[in-house]
Structure 1
Amino acid sequence: MEDRRALLKLVTAVMGAASAKYPTETARWEAVRALVRHGGRTDPDLWRLLKVLVPGSGLVCASGDCIVVRWVGQELQVLVGERPNEPWKGYLSVAPGGWTERWDDRTVADTAAREYQEETGLVIKPVILLDVCGPEHWHSIAKPISRLDPQDGFEVIQTDKPAQPDGFPSVAHVHAGIIVGGALKNTAEQRSTRWMSVNRVVRRYGERLTFDHAASLLALVGGVQRVRELTRGLARWDLEATIPVEAT
């Protein structure tokens, strides 16, 4: 009940502030939706109001993310890409995703699939929920424990960066999934998408991971047997020509 009251208070305040510029209820909802989707670029004034209201409302935004996996023999590989823009420009993304939208998503798994396609062009199927991360600071650093094989053990370290620097607390629901279709493309969210072993990710990019992706990767390794049972033999989509496998 308290959550509903907080939501009602927030929506009432935002809609009231937007009433002059957006005279109908539909127009107001679409304005807020565009703000969230485009990071405030569509209406900076209304965005500033949202940033003030949301932290004090007690509300937490939900996001759906996914680590796409495949098996090469006994080796687990994950699909990764580089962030071309801020936040985390130049860092490695392991679990692309984004905020759940009440207009488009029935579940956080729907969110993960929709966001993955928007950011990479690939159609995926989330098959297992690995972890729930946030809403405070992200754990974006992976540090090997074993010198022989990071997949045998690594620790994650909390970054100094806040989970949502723009003021919107968010809880990430991280899935493991497989590719079922689509065509790979570069976008404003991700580029240079390629397969990489968990070993390679931790050793080479452990200190340059985005968001809470170190914790997400640890959850993947921790549940690797279950992930194997649910994903092995399911991925029939041949993307070898367009998604190169990085040497391990």
Structure 2
Amino acid sequence: MTDATQYPPFGVTADLVILTMRNDELCVALIERRAEPYKGQLALPGGFVSRHGADRTLEDTALRELREETGIEPHEVHLEQLKTYWTLGRDPRQEVVTVAWLALGPIQGELQSGSDAARADWHTIDAALGQRLAFDHNQILRDGIERARAKLEYTDVAATFLPRQFAIADVRRVYEEVWGVELDPGNFQRKMTGVFERVQDAEPRNVGRGRPAALYMRKAREYRDASGLVPIEPPFRRMDAAR
């Protein structure tokens, strides 16, 4: 028989960096913690793997916490694993390893707090990074933002922030907000029209001055990679876009 006392007791959690665009600003979902540790402090949504058998995988834990702490349904987001975090003492209750997840979606409604969250709200990225978040969540948030920025270079992940049909100008606004740069509309249009599929029977939509813009949508599943994203080839590098 194995002696359990020979092994250190570790907890496992799933934390979520949930990003969306609201009023053309990149925002993240943060909760106010209801209980200690860090009671009343802002944190990323997340929680422990179920001790009652509700979760079969860590993705199950992430999706359950997504729903319980924010009211967001799994079908509303693109979800991918971000990184695993542990340093000695990162959680004052016990040693805890967290597997962080990045969730992106066109989520425009207000958040519905639950579970151990006193409330849940959207915060602009600048406002969120300017605060001291609970645990090591500032670092997790920075890593999540950088993952989103990098994914824009070589996948169609920008479309996960948008409704099913969109104009290329909508995609450009996502890039400009997430990267923090201004992009040339003409060059961007030429780069991106091959990445997305034009909606043939859709009425063009006004997106500002000039003639109405054609509408596009993401390519069919058979064009996507294992994470559900369409590769951009050659990649659209940030350093090239900023020139």
User: Aligned residue for 1:197?
Assistant: 124
User: Aligned residue for 1:70?
Assistant: 20
Q: How does 1:229-244 map to 2 (within 5 A)?
A: 229=155, 231-234=157-160
Tell me how far 1:175 sits from its aligned partner. 0.7
The RMSD of aligned alpha carbons is 3.1
Q: TM-score, normalised by structure 2?
A: 0.54
CA offset digits 1:178-220 (Å, max 9, x no partner): 46999943335113322111101122x2x2x112211101211
Unaligned runs of 5+ in 2: 164-243
User: Aligned residue for 2:141?
Assistant: 217
| Secondary structure in 2 matching 1:122 | coil
Change (3 A) 1:179 1:96: farther
Count residues in correspondence. Answer: 158
Change (3 A) 1:134 1:179: same
Change (3 A) 1:234 1:126: closer
Change (3 A) 1:120 1:71: closer
Change (3 A) 1:213 1:69: same
Change (3 A) 1:134 1:57: same
Aligned counterpart in structure 1 of residue 99 of structure 2, from 163, 173, 184: 173
Higher fraction of strand: 1
| Secondary structure in 2 matching 1:234 | helix
Structure 1 moving runs of 4+ over 6 Å? 180-183
Change (3 A) 1:131 1:230: farther
Distance in 2 of aligned mates of 1:236 and 1:102: 36
Asked if the contact 2:31/2:120 (under 8 Å) is kept, the reply is yes
Tell me how far 1:117 sits from its aligned partner. 1.8
Distance in 2 of aligned mates of 1:234 and 1:126: 7
Asked if the contact 1:78/1:196 (under 8 Å) is kept, the reply is yes
Q: Given residue 210 of structure 1, which amino acid in structure 2 is its aligned partner?
A: A
Asked if the contact 2:49/2:55 (under 8 Å) is kept, the reply is no
Distance in 2 of aligned mates of 1:67 and 1:201: 11
Higher fraction of helix: 1
Distance in 1 of aligned mates of 2:78 and 2:61: 10
Distance in 2 of aligned mates of 1:118 and 1:127: 16
| Secondary structure in 1 matching 2:160 | coil
Report 1 or 2 for greater relative contact order, CA contacts < 8 Å, sequence distance ≥ 6: 1
Asked if the contact 2:27/2:124 (under 8 Å) is kept, the reply is yes
Change (3 A) 1:199 1:180: closer
Distance in 2 of aligned mates of 1:183 and 1:220: 21
Q: TM-score, normalised by structure 1?
A: 0.53
Distance in 1 of aligned mates of 2:42 and 2:12: 22
Q: How does 1:102-141 map to 2 (within 5 A)?
A: 103-124=53-74, 125=77, 127-138=79-90
Asked if the contact 1:63/1:100 (under 8 Å) is kept, the reply is no
Change (3 A) 1:227 1:97: farther
Q: Given residue 76 of structure 1, which amino acid in structure 2 is its aligned partner?
A: L
Tell me how far 1:90 sits from its aligned partner. 1.0
Q: Given residue 9 of structure 1, which amino acid in structure 2 is its aligned partner?
A: D
Distance in 2 of aligned mates of 1:71 and 1:84: 27
